[in-house]
Amino acid sequence: MLAAFERFMSNLYDWLNCHDPVCKSDVVFALSGRRKRMLFAMELFSHGCTKSVLLSVGPYEIGWGLSNLPWPMPFEIPESALSLRSTKDRLFISYEAGVIALNEVEIGRFGTLSEIRALARWLQCRPQVGSLLVVSSAPHLRRIRVCCGALLPPGIHVRFLFVPGENPFLDRNRWWKNSRTRTAVISEIPKLLVYSTILRTKKESA
């Protein structure tokens, strides 16, 4: 009975963590929430996996020393960014074609959904982008995949990557043994249902 339970929990984790292998792409995009996502995205960029990098950052990430990430040129956080306070505040920080740019992002009730909508707008202004790597935590990837499939411009080849070693407790073989990771993984099920319903309703009403 215990073995069947553990197998089910591991399979649930694998289903949520619908990741792809790393490959070369035009842009890598990291969703906000954890510093290790930004570091992994910058690592992929530094290793030549992508031509450009795009980070979604909020007030917590601003305080994590964004200017200390391995940008290819000196970078200082402007005063306007340092004033971010609300969890609904977001900035997109990008490096492309030798230029670092910051853009404010409007975040609604559903943060991840809003970030992907903002990503879609960013991509629509860059028709030359044909491929994209999306970085987040392993259990989030199925929900993010649903959002990207509904919102991103057609024709862009998207691959979804999780951050290796992001959390020692966020492991497919023991995530349910820690209260925080257990909550994080289980909560993805209702979130996925809600996001799918919202996207389907908007599609039908369009």
Q: Of 8-12, 78-82, 125-129, which range is least confident?
A: 78-82
CA distance 39 to 65: 11
Q: What is the mean pLDDT of the chain?
A: 86
Confidence of residue 52 (pLDDT cuts 50, 70, 90): very high
Quick one: average pLDDT of 110-130?
91
> What token pair was written down for 187?
């909560």
pTM of this structure: 0.88
pLDDT of residue 63: 59
pLDDT of 4 over the 70 cut: yes
CA distance 45 to 42: 5
DSSP-derived secondary structure letter, 56: E
Whole-angstrom Cα distance, residue 188 to residue 193? 9
pLDDT tens track for 146-179: 999 999 998 899 999 999 988 888 889 999 999 9
